[in-house]
Chain A
């Protein structure tokens, strides 16, 4: 076997890819473990080869960055410096005496598991979409904004012919443009945030002319496709008997209340809705990494507080692909140095660190401006489903808090089963927290995905030495 130090990178999105390349270029033996059939993550999601997409680049910006990463990965794989394990679904990372075991289920069936052993682990697990409930949100035809984008990028199919894009956050504009460019009629883009709120952060914005230009470009494209943009508005309900037929849009006042009489109906057969993103932190939490709010806490070198574990990208705080690239690069350089018992020279990552600082500042502003107004809770009817897996309505959550003495998300979950189903609360946890009136906390999920008991029961392959039982 190789004498080189071994790094396992979990996630082949922007952060994981760039970290793998940086570490491999400096002599680290890298195993890149990813659930998708191809590298790229959510951001550089690839159309399936069989679809014969002629111009996938039309759906992506920063296509040249992607090409560089893709070609770099191919070169390192050819040279044997990176092993790229596709369709490996990591369910747990285990800390052993002097190394780590990354346990991953294989292929679409996920019935067999392998263990990848490594001296260091980079968690580049990305993020997932946050969606808050409203009456009618479970109707067929209502999809997440990211889901609509994923359909476009990977399957090149349109979720519907007349679409409304709604919610809040920087994802909505590219989704609306993508849908329109693919031939859908986008009847409205409904954003609850007030863009004037950005004006209060002029200094931060001025430092990011590229971001402003990006926004202006999307706005121009939306205008070109004739998409009406309604800011300080929200979708208060989705309507339809078997599937989505229309949504009701309403204006919000400065307190986030619906302006009386402002409602109107927009016929549509698809609604792409999103309220921002949340980081995937299950693996980090099971390893015992400290969290900062809902994000994995990292130091200047992207190290977590667990020795040998780094984190980069959305897992450490939502901030998009450019921030993920900066963090991934810093992590890769730090890992290569630390595995060689060296301290990385700060000058080696000064450029990336500067970009990281600026982008974190920018996304802190985005986060502040694009927080859904708390009053969404008042618009959730008692019969609106909150947890779709377990079919728990808002009334049950309210009863748990008002009548049964629950004061936190965990107790609400135990009393109502909200969050106990297949998705383990990934979808409903923010909604449950909002309805219960308590702060969202990261819920502990020791298994990042469901694992067959027969797999769990088997000793992992690899060294015969059994990890010490505590």
Chain B
């Protein structure tokens, strides 16, 4: 095997975002090399639920990216063999409120979302059980979002990588990027790995939670922080939860800046049978220790929404780290500070859903086209940094990985 490779673009990180970026880049005719220190989907992608959501997003750039991504996901799922292999389900999301005040706030959000192009149907308390027969009684009402969908995230990343390879991309797993190579003038010229250099005029940082570390290798700061979440998985069941169902306070938790633990029940069935229960958020660094109290809160929230779940057994729980940015917007697009460096990370808990749109616009810029979306709000250099000057050794994120 040769020690040095040359291509048009190196995508660092074989998670969902890297997979989509490699796919769209390869389909745009670029030779793409996808590299990851671990396996495909070994980071946040393999630890999530696979949400493709518009319902939890307020009007603004993230919602626009979500709407674009949702269309691209539907297109991909319509390709022969793809939808089934990634367990794509356009099942819709149902957000429920337990109090009239909560419902009023939810309706307010839905009205704003509608004007931004989201389909959202109000559901009265007496109609909730037509949609979800096993839902708890006594809820004030809800909003149905037919555009919400789901994929199995690990399968989705692996299958998109497979499609990217079919389109000419190559995959190198178990290969850690130890440096971002730059020309004398500071432009990117590839990456260094222990197995040899990979030369390219463009490098895409799709390293997810570790995106800050990769940015530091290129000499720039990017404030990506891990936000831990647990997911509970039940025994397989016949389909009893039809939509993604969650309580209205989830939206507030997603948008919160607090480091403290927050849990809001999110319940959904899967194609394979088990019910997935989230969602907890806490900023505790890369602490992988199990927390019974957090899973206890998740179970309590889920059984409040769906009382029948009290009898259903939790088989396992897993945790992951969402790549969190201070303003909850991902970093997407070229980095003005380093020519040739692109970022596609920091999607927090929405990376699966936003991956297609992210990969698509990155590929458009790489191919010299005007992206379908204004990338200004996602500019990677939008964060003021505490220390001036680019110090490659100052990684902004905690450095201890799993």
- Cβ contacts under 8 Å, B302 to chain A: 453, 457
Knowing A288-B289, A408-B42, say if A453 contacts B154 (CB, 8 Å).
no
- Cβ contacts under 8 Å, B303 to chain A: 453-454, 457
Q: Does B174 contact A (CB under 8 A)?
A: yes
Q: Does A404 contact B (CB under 8 A)?
A: yes
Interface size class of B (residues with CB under 8 A): 35 or more
Complex: A35 Cα to B232 Cα, angstroms: 24
Among A92, A111, A407, A408, the residue within 8 A (CB) of B292 is: A92
The A/B interface has a contact count, at CB < 8 Å, of 122
- Cβ contacts under 8 Å, B310 to chain A: 452-454, 457
**B316 and A447 form a contact (CB under 8 A):** yes
Q: Does B74 contact A (CB under 8 A)?
A: no
A440 to chain B minimum Cβ distance, whole angstroms, is 16
User: What string of 1s and 0s marks CB contacts (under 8 Å) between A31-60 and chain B?
Assistant: 000000000000000000000000000000
**B294 and A469 form a contact (CB under 8 A):** yes
Residue of chain B at shortest CB distance from A466: B293
Pick from B100-108, B158-166, B192-200 the stretch touching chain A. B158-166
Pick from B2-10, B33-41, B345-353, B377-385 the stretch touching chain A. B33-41
Q: Does A192 contact B (CB under 8 A)?
A: no
B345 to chain A minimum Cβ distance, whole angstroms, is 19
Q: Does A216 contact B (CB under 8 A)?
A: no
Q: Does B136 contact A (CB under 8 A)?
A: no
Residue of chain A at shortest CB distance from B155: A415
- Cβ contacts under 8 Å, A454 to chain B: 299, 303, 309-311
Tell me if A's interface is mostly helix, strand, loop or mixed.
loop
Knowing A414-B41, A457-B310, say if A407 contacts B173 (CB, 8 Å).
yes
- Cβ contacts under 8 Å, B234 to chain A: 453
Q: Does A437 contact B (CB under 8 A)?
A: no
- Cβ contacts under 8 Å, B314 to chain A: 447, 450-453, 456
Question: Considering residues A111, A405, A408, which has the most beta carbons from chain B within 10 angstroms of its beta carbon?
Answer: A405
Q: Does A290 contact B (CB under 8 A)?
A: no
**A453 and B313 form a contact (CB under 8 A):** yes
- Cβ contacts under 8 Å, A447 to chain B: 314-317
Knowing A446-B295, A453-B232, A457-B296, say if A404 contacts B162 (CB, 8 Å).
yes
Question: Considering residues B154, B295, B302, which has the most beta carbons from chain A within 10 angstroms of its beta carbon?
Answer: B154
- Cβ contacts under 8 Å, A410 to chain B: 42, 46
Residue of chain A at shortest CB distance from B174: A407
- Cβ contacts under 8 Å, B123 to chain A: none
- From 393 to 428 in chain A, residues with beta carbon under 8 angstroms from any chain B beta carbon are 400, 403-408, 410-411, 414-415, 417, 420, 422, 424
A459 to chain B minimum Cβ distance, whole angstroms, is 7
Q: Does B14 contact A (CB under 8 A)?
A: yes
Among A406, A444, A445, A458, the residue within 8 A (CB) of B40 is: A406
Q: Does A286 contact B (CB under 8 A)?
A: yes
**A453 and B161 form a contact (CB under 8 A):** no
User: What string of 1s and 0s marks CB contacts (under 8 Å) between B343-370 and chain A?
Assistant: 0000000000000000000000000000
**A405 and B171 form a contact (CB under 8 A):** yes
Complex: A446 Cα to B284 Cα, angstroms: 19
- Cβ contacts under 8 Å, B41 to chain A: 405, 411, 414
A96 to chain B minimum Cβ distance, whole angstroms, is 10
Complex: A115 Cα to B30 Cα, angstroms: 59
Complex: A376 Cα to B272 Cα, angstroms: 30
Complex: A453 Cα to B241 Cα, angstroms: 15
Q: Does B312 contact A (CB under 8 A)?
A: yes
Among B284, B291, B309, the residue within 8 A (CB) of A453 is: B309
Q: Does B140 contact A (CB under 8 A)?
A: no
Q: Does A213 contact B (CB under 8 A)?
A: no
**A469 and B293 form a contact (CB under 8 A):** yes
**B173 and A446 form a contact (CB under 8 A):** no
Q: Does A357 contact B (CB under 8 A)?
A: no
Residue of chain B at shortest CB distance from A285: B290
Complex: A406 Cα to B162 Cα, angstroms: 12
Q: Does B261 contact A (CB under 8 A)?
A: yes
Q: Does A94 contact B (CB under 8 A)?
A: yes
- Cβ contacts under 8 Å, B282 to chain A: 470
Complex: A111 Cα to B277 Cα, angstroms: 20
Q: Does A467 contact B (CB under 8 A)?
A: yes
Knowing A405-B171, A415-B155, A446-B316, say if A456 contacts B40 (CB, 8 Å).
no
**A407 and B38 form a contact (CB under 8 A):** yes
Complex: A417 Cα to B155 Cα, angstroms: 10
**B161 and A404 form a contact (CB under 8 A):** yes
Among A94, A408, A450, A459, the residue within 8 A (CB) of B313 is: A450
Complex: A366 Cα to B277 Cα, angstroms: 44
**B261 and A450 form a contact (CB under 8 A):** no
**B315 and A450 form a contact (CB under 8 A):** yes
**B158 and A405 form a contact (CB under 8 A):** yes
User: What string of 1s and 0s marks CB contacts (under 8 Å) between B284-308 and chain A?
Assistant: 1000011111111001101100000
- Cβ contacts under 8 Å, A459 to chain B: 296
- From 209 to 253 in chain A, residues with beta carbon under 8 angstroms from any chain B beta carbon are none
Residue of chain B at shortest CB distance from A411: B39
**B292 and A417 form a contact (CB under 8 A):** no
- Cβ contacts under 8 Å, A457 to chain B: 296, 299-300, 302-303, 310
User: What string of 1s and 0s marks CB contacts (under 8 Å) between B169-196 and chain A?
Assistant: 0010110000000000000000000000
Complex: A408 Cα to B174 Cα, angstroms: 10
Beyond contacts A406-B40, A420-B316, A453-B303: 20 other A-B pairs, Cβ-Cβ < 8 A, are A111-B311, A288-B289, A405-B41, A406-B158, A407-B39, A411-B46, A415-B158, A445-B316, A446-B317, A447-B314, A453-B277, A453-B302, A453-B309, A453-B314, A456-B232, A457-B296, A457-B302, A466-B293, A467-B292, A469-B294
14 example contacts (A-B, Cβ-Cβ < 8 A) are as follows: A103-B292, A288-B290, A422-B235, A446-B290, A446-B292, A453-B314, A456-B232, A456-B295, A457-B300, A457-B302, A457-B303, A457-B310, A469-B293, A470-B284
Interface residues of A (CB under 8 A from B): 92, 94, 103, 111, 286, 288, 400, 403-408, 410-411, 414-415, 417, 420, 422, 424, 444-447, 450-454, 456-459, 466-467, 469-470
Interface residues of B (CB under 8 A from A): 14, 38-42, 46, 154-155, 158-159, 161-162, 171, 173-174, 232, 234-235, 261, 272, 274, 277, 282, 284, 289-296, 299-300, 302-303, 309-318
Lowest 6 A-B CB distances belong to which pairs? Answer: A454-B310, A405-B40, A450-B313, A414-B154, A407-B39, A404-B158
